[in-house]
Structure 1
Amino acid sequence: MKFKLHSEDIFLAPERALDWLRRRTLLVADAHFGKAASYRAKGMPVPEGTTADNLRRLDAAIDRHGAERVIFLGDFMHDAHAHNPRTLAALRDWRARRRQLALVLVGGNHDAKAGALPVDLGIDERPEGWREEGFAFCHHPCEIDGAYVLAGHLHPAWRLATRREGLRLPCFHFGARTGVLPAFGDFTGGMMVDAAPGDAICVVTPERVFAVPRAAAGDAAVQAAGAACMAALAPSVAPALGTSAQAQAAARVHAAKARKGEPETLNLLDGTPAYGRD
């Protein structure tokens, strides 16, 4: 999904990453590489393969618009147990294929616990609040004078609801001065967003990102957005919206856009959604 954020063209990727198009820069929050291995080391029955899956998604997000740099907004590694031979070998193999890619890490709370990164990963570490043009990059959401903050840490999620069912999804949450990215890593959970009036919420499915109309609970537009997302995920379980003509009309618009494969373009903090191709 493409949108404008402080006059910059941004793409929200279904891989749960943000693409700053003009700077060919991909932003990723909370990768938590090695988390599953860390849990297994503590005796928990956690499936293998999450690092490989995460790296495949990262490749897809990088290749979509030809990113030349990735900025990790904290929690690159989960903890000290994540520095196990298998996880590090996967990261080194990936890095060997991506030697021309610039990597930057703004440290998070888990990075501090995990310890120093291997030098051969070639990651440039920066402090929280590091700025570039009109943006400031942090792990912990905050406000910084003179900049729009992009951060992670919270693993934001949003609940879409219709009259019969609800669906909880990871989301991007953009306020007036701070934007929070969803957790990139698998097996990371999520925290429900407490959105203020005027904030923009964009929920993420495995294949699409949807802008959620902000309105009072039970509003027809909110129900329509919920139905459209559910239909995209699993048409067989998409619930009916009821008899409201407004709800049905809104649902038809969302469904038509989804069928045409038109990514939604949102002028964030303006409140006006629009549609257009990449």
Structure 2
Amino acid sequence: MTISAGTPFQFLDQDLLLLPQKAIYWKQENALIAADVHFGKVGHFRKAGIAIPRNMEQDDLAALSDLIYEFQPEKIYFLGDLFHSDINNDWDWFVLWRSQFPKVEIILIKGNHDIISDKHYTDLGIILHKQLQIGPFLMLHHPLADATQQAPGGYVLCGHIHPGVNLVGRGRQSVTLPCFAFGKNQAILPSFGKFTGRVAIISHKADRIFGVLKDKVIAIG
């Protein structure tokens, strides 16, 4: 199937495509980049007796599958919080999904929710890192503690805070959109998972903000 068109963004001499599925396609690396998928969060809440629709997890896996079929990436970089909790029933869905794309290299930058034993990941051929420098980018999970200071490994791509941007209309109606936030020294990606929530962020003058709508990504600032 053909997915919704993304927004091209040339940055640091790299060709990025910002996708409404809240991921990035990086042309030079033929790679997808996504943050904060939080697989297993639905199972975690259901295990605690909270009624959450089961199909939310499958929807995220289906969205990833569609991106793979569309772009045929060699690699997927996950910027932390791939799986939300300890092993639960949702892990079986993830294992099944992984088996469908054995040739795609999967690299996980471990986040604070990635508490499953490393062996579970490595048994699936998933490569683990605390941080990773690729080209001009330094891939992390957490944003820089001081965003005014440049990281020694390059421009940071990260997640963790599930960024959003608040838009106010002429009639004072407002909406908060998930967003890609490119600052001077780092870019914070929106959370890929549907069951993650989002927070509003403050946009500095140097920031490039791209809001995510259902079928497109729009430049806001």
Q: Taking structure 1 as the reference length, what is the TM-score of the superposition? A: 0.72
Q: Displacement, 1:177? A: 0.9
Matched, 1:153 2:160: yes
Matched, 1:134 2:136: yes
Matched, 1:66 2:75: no
Secondary structure in 2 matching 1:121: coil
Q: Displacement, 1:67? A: 1.2
Task: Map 1:45-56; keep pairs closer than 5 Å.
Answer: 45-56=51-62
Between the aligned partners of 1:39 and 1:116, the Cα distance in structure 2 is: 23
Q: Which residue of 2 aligns with 1:31?
A: 37
Secondary structure in 2 matching 1:111: coil
Q: 172-181 vs 144-153, which deviates more?
A: 144-153
Task: Map 1:199-238; keep pairs closer than 5 Å.
Answer: 199-212=207-220, 214=221
Q: Which residue of 1 aligns with 2:147?
A: none
Q: Which residue of 1 aligns with 2:84?
A: 78
Q: Deviations over 1:6-45 (max 9, x none)?
A: 1100001111101111110100100000101101111212
Higher radius of gyration, 1 or 2: 1
Q: Which amino acid aligns with 2:11?
A: L
Secondary structure in 2 matching 1:58: helix
Q: Which residue of 1 aligns with 2:91?
A: 88
Higher helix proportion: 1
Q: Displacement, 1:61? A: 2.1
* Equivalent residues of 2:138, 2:153 under 8 A apart: no
Q: Displacement, 1:92? A: 1.5
- Count of equivalent residues: 208
Match of 1:162 among 169, 174, 177: 169
Q: Which runs of 5+ in 1 are unaligned?
A: 215-278
Q: Which runs of 5+ in 2 are unaligned?
A: 1-6, 145-149
Q: Displacement, 1:121? A: 1.8
Match of 1:16 among 15, 19, 22: 22
* Equivalent residues of 2:163, 2:179 under 8 A apart: yes
Higher relative contact order (CA 8 A, sep 6+): 2
Between the aligned partners of 1:116 and 1:39, the Cα distance in structure 2 is: 23
Q: Displacement, 1:55? A: 0.7
* Equivalent residues of 1:17, 1:61 under 8 A apart: no
Matched, 1:97 2:103: no
- Over the matched positions of the two proteins, sequence identity in percent amounts to 34
Q: Which amino acid aligns with 2:209?
A: I
CA RMSD of aligned residues (A): 1.3
